[in-house]
Amino acid sequence: MKRHLASHFASLLLLAALGLTGCDSMPGEVHGRLGPAPETTRTFQADPRTVYDAARAALARMEFRVTGGGPAQGRIEAVSGLSKKDSLQGTRQISISIRIISLSDGGSEVSVELKEVIEENSADRPGFATETKLRDTPYSEVFFGGVAQALAPSKKG
């Protein structure tokens, strides 16, 4: 009888240990086989303030709303508009985090991280959303293209 209880206890401990091994990752932070979603980085030959203004212009063209950051901080936080999910009870939104770093040659390095924010049932559980880092999304290319376009007139002279 004691051996039977001991084997059940050992099985329960093993299950508990397996269950706790994933506690370091939060929902939406599952990285999959390829590791974490990379930040996309581009370099522009303009000072950080000029690049900041160009980034704001690119975000406005993409219809993103700026929610935080500033030129002195070298960062911008912004979100897209809300879109309804197929169930009509949930919503989807894209968030973008932008960092602008001054380079020694007078240029600027711009890093972008995109996340998809999904709220499954906004009617019954408002405020409960999951964030997932986006990979291989056209948003970053559209953003960088918009920055380059906004900087183009200043390069011409």
d(CA 151, CA 55): 9
Amino acid at 134: L
In the block, residue with structure tokens 């935080």: 68
The string of DSSP codes covering 95-145 is EEEEEEEE-TTS-EEEEEEEEEEEES-TTTSTT--EEEE--S-HHHHHHHH
- The better pLDDT of the pair 35, 105 is held by 105
The residue-averaged pLDDT of 4-11 equals 51
Give pLDDT, residue 139.
Answer: 92
d(CA 117, CA 95): 7
Kindly state the tokens that stand for 51. 């690049």
The residue-averaged pLDDT of 95-123 equals 89
Query: Where are the chain's structural domains?
Result: 37-80+96-115+133-156
CATH architecture for residues 37-80+96-115+133-156? 2-Layer Sandwich (3.30)
